[in-house]
Amino acid sequence: MKAPERVTNLLEPVVEGLGYELVGVEYQSGRQQGLLRLYIDRPEGVEVDDCARVSHQVSGVLDVEDPIAGEYLLEVSSPGTDRPVFKTTDYDRFVGEQVRLRLHGRLEGRRKFRGRLLGLRGDNVVIEEQGEEVAVPITEIDRAHVELEP
């Protein structure tokens, strides 16, 4: 689940100040503790030391600002080759790549789509699936992942 926008807005300048891109932030609530997951990236890739560095800096900001009530675990990770999509600009950034879309409801009787990303056209994400163009309203997308080549 996408984290509240205020959490992303709070953490993005910190992560970018360290020289990384904040790909996105997820928050999953739990009975006893939640999970706050940050995805970071940079052109040369992300290693464990990078995640630790960002985690240390972000922890301090979270402790001071306290934007999430209750206890939660902080996890900093690379987006990997199955990159989650958080920003609408990524639909143009990754044109030509394979993408998987899961919808809130159904479109043409389906909730899941997979194909080559053609980009963002107006309020629709357009993919090529089995030789056909499919336009998916961006507001209907629950989750999206770009399958990058390793």
Q: What is the pLDDT of residue 113?
A: 97
Q: What is the pLDDT of residue 68?
A: 87
Same domain, 58 and 123: no
In which domain, by residue range, is 9 found? Answer: 5-80
Q: What is the DSSP letter of 3?
A: P
Task: Out of 39, 55, 80, pick the residue that ends a domain.
Answer: 80
User: What does the pLDDT look like over 9-43, one tens digit per residue?
Assistant: 999 999 999 999 999 999 998 888 899 999 999 99
Q: What is the pLDDT of residue 150?
A: 65
Query: Any idea what the CATH number is for the domain that residue 38 is in?
Result: 3.30.300.70
Give the whole-angstrom CA distance, residue 63 versus residue 87. 26
Same domain, 75 and 99: no
- pTM higher than 0.75: yes
How many structural domains compose the chain?
2
Helices (H), the chain: 5-17, 48-65, 90-93
Q: What is the pLDDT of residue 49?
A: 97
